[in-house]
Amino acid sequence: MTPFLTESFAERGARERARALLDPASFRELLDPFARIASPYLAAQDVVPQADDGVVVARGTLGNRRACVVASDGRFLGGSIGEIGGAKIAGALELARRDFEDGRPTRVVLALDTGGIRLQEANLGILAVTEICDAIVALRERMPVVAVIAGRVGVYGGLSLSTALCSAIIVSEGARIGLNGPDVVETESGIEEMDSSDRPLIWRVTGGRRRFEQDFTTELVADDVGAIRAAVERAFERPRPLGPLVPPPFPDPRLERDAFLHAMEIQP
Amino acid sequence: MIETLSYEFAANEPVANRAHVGVVASGNCEVLLEPAADGRASIVVRTSVTGFDRTWQAVLARFFARNPVAVQIEINDFGATPAVVALRLEQALEYAR
């Protein structure tokens, strides 16, 4: 039966999202705002920093199993990932890998809501994403890593690469997944290619439902805390088989027809 | 430009816990509130909107007139209106008590 009352996940901030995914009262935050490790680069560029750098790392239990939820806050600078926030995410994954080695497996859920790397910290952000990708690959060989993309932003840019590496991707209809965001596409390729003010178009191309239909995600869920929690538990019990890390070769349009057909293993 | 403003008020009520509320997002601010030892309240505001130091003074003076709590407060502001700032302060204090 369809529930009449739902508890929105997207309407919560990052901390409340982490709290909602973990079992009641098990929430324990690592490097909380009072750790005061805000980005040191933003003030120098006339941007007000946030005390947690927009990333919440919370340990606790999920279905009575040891868990760690990492949530980025899409409201602070578009959820952009800089040096500090990136190190918090990579550190949480690394900690879970060590926990596994120590015989204390910890289930990691990446509840990302981000436009990608923070432009004000460009190179450090790129480095952070490579560290996050490394850490996901190292952990997913041991146990599933689950991504929950169910915020108002979704996931774009460098972090969409990290998301694609996860063992399972749970997406909501309101969220989006893409490499280049609509504004980037419009700027780079022109308004004929994509009108970034055309919201139905954006959702037709990068929306959660479309990404699920394209088999890019493992599950499409309603914007409801209970539904998302249930999907996360399913994802850990039945992760999808991991595909090859190297994608199948893409035909190079510069090849001659015969060479192209040969590359595609088609008999001319 | 970022403006950093500092304020102090006389205060005598102790507060049990620290509290964090809000977010550095458009029209919003985050408040970090911690108990302070001596009988005064000190506030540091970092804001992206310059030239409103007297408005900040008025909002904070009203809050501490109502709640003379000995606390140390840090506010990271992204264009919150005085009403939003007042609500965030009340919310932080409610969590801290």
SS (H, E, C) chain B: CCEEEEEEEECCECCCCCEEEECCCCCEEEEEEEECCCCEEEEEEEECCCCCHHHHHHHHHHHHHHCCECEEEEEEEECCCHHHHHHHHHHHHHHHC
| Closest by Cβ to A75, choosing from B23, B47, B77 | B23
Return the pLDDT at A23: 97
Q: What is the pLDDT of residue A254?
A: 47
Shortest Cα–Cα distance, B96 to chain A (Å) = 14
Interface of A with B in 42-71 (CB under 8 A): 43, 46-51
Taking an 8 Å cut-off on Cβ atoms, the answer to whether B76 and A46 are in contact is no
pTM (predicted TM-score): 0.89
- Asked if the Cβ–Cβ distance from A47 to B47 is below 8 Å, we say no
In terms of Cβ atoms closer than 10 Å to its own Cβ (0-12, 13-18, 19+), residue A76 is buried
- Helix (H) or strand (E) run with residue A71 in it: strand A65-72
Give B91's contacts in chain A (Cβ within 8 Å).
Answer: none
Classify A184 as helix, strand or coil: helix
Task: Give strand pairing partners of A221.
Answer: A172
Contact with chain A for residue B19, Cβ under 8 A: no
A32 CA: distance to closest CA in chain B (Å): 9
| pLDDT, position A246 | 47
Residues in B touching A33 (Cβ below 8 Å): 20, 30, 32
Residue A253's contacts (CB-CB under 8 Å, 6 or more residues apart) are: none
Q: Report CA torsion sign: A170, A174, A175, A180.
A: positive
HSE-up (13 A, CA, CB side) for residue B54: 1
Model pLDDT, residue A253: 46
Which among A33, A43, A75 has CB closest to B20?
A33
- Decide if B76 and A73 are in contact by the 8 Å CB cutoff: no
Q: Say if the ipTM goes beyond 0.85.
A: yes
A51 contacts B30? CB cut-off 8 A = yes
Radius of gyration of chain A (CA): 19
Q: Please name which of A139, A118, A135, A216 lies closest in space to residue A175, comparing C-alpha atoms.
A: A216
The answer to whether residue B34 neighbours chain A at the CB level (below 8 Å) is yes
- Cβ–Cβ < 8 Å for A23, A60: yes
Gyration radius of chain B over CA positions: 12
Q: pLDDT class for A47, splitting at 50, 70, 90?
A: very high
User: How do residues A114-153 score in pLDDT, each as one tens digit?
Assistant: 999 999 999 999 999 999 999 999 999 999 999 999 999 9
Q: Which residue of A has its CA nearest to B33?
A: A34
CA dist., res. A20 & res. A150, Å (int): 13
- The mean pLDDT value for A24-49 works out to 96
CB–CB contact A46 B20 (8 Å): no
Predicted confidence band at A266 (pLDDT cuts at 50, 70, 90)?
low
Q: What's the CA angle centered on B73, arms B67 and B74, to 5 degrees?
A: 145
Average pLDDT, chain A: 91
How close is the nearest chain B Cα to the Cα of A98, in Å? 30
Contact A48 B78 (CB under 8 A): yes
Beta bridge partners of A72: A55
Chain A partners within 8 Å of B46 (Cβ): 43, 48-49
| B47 and chain A in contact, CB less than 8 A | yes
Measured CA to CA, the distance from residue B57 to residue A158 in angstroms comes to: 42
From the CA of A200, how many Å to the nearest CA of chain B? 24
pLDDT range class, residue A258, cuts 50, 70, 90? low
Contacts of A259 (CB under 8 A, 6+ apart): none
Least confident of A4-8, A176-180, B52-56: A4-8
Asked if residues A199 and A173 have their Cβ atoms less than 8 Å apart, the reply is no
What per-residue confidence (pLDDT) applies to A238? Answer: 83
Confidence at residue A248, expressed as pLDDT on a 0 to 100 scale: 45
Whether residue A95 is predicted with pLDDT greater than 90 in this model: the reply is yes
- How far CA A79 is from CA of A1, A176, B40, in Å, comes to 35, 14, 36
Task: Count Cα neighbours of B70 within 13 Å in the Cβ-side half-sphere.
Answer: 10
Give just the sign of the alpha carbon dihedral B7, B8, B11, B15. Answer: positive
Chain B residues lying within 8 Å of A38, measured CB to CB = 76
Question: For the segment A193-225, what is each residue's pLDDT rounded down to a tens digit?
Answer: 999 999 999 999 999 999 998 888 999 999 999
| pLDDT score at A247 | 46
Q: How far is B32 from chain A (nearest CA, A)?
A: 8
The partner residue sitting opposite A73, judged by closest CB among B23, B48, B78, is B23
Tell me: the pLDDT tens digits for A68-90? Answer: 999 999 999 999 999 999 999 99
pLDDT interval class at B39 (50, 70, 90): confident
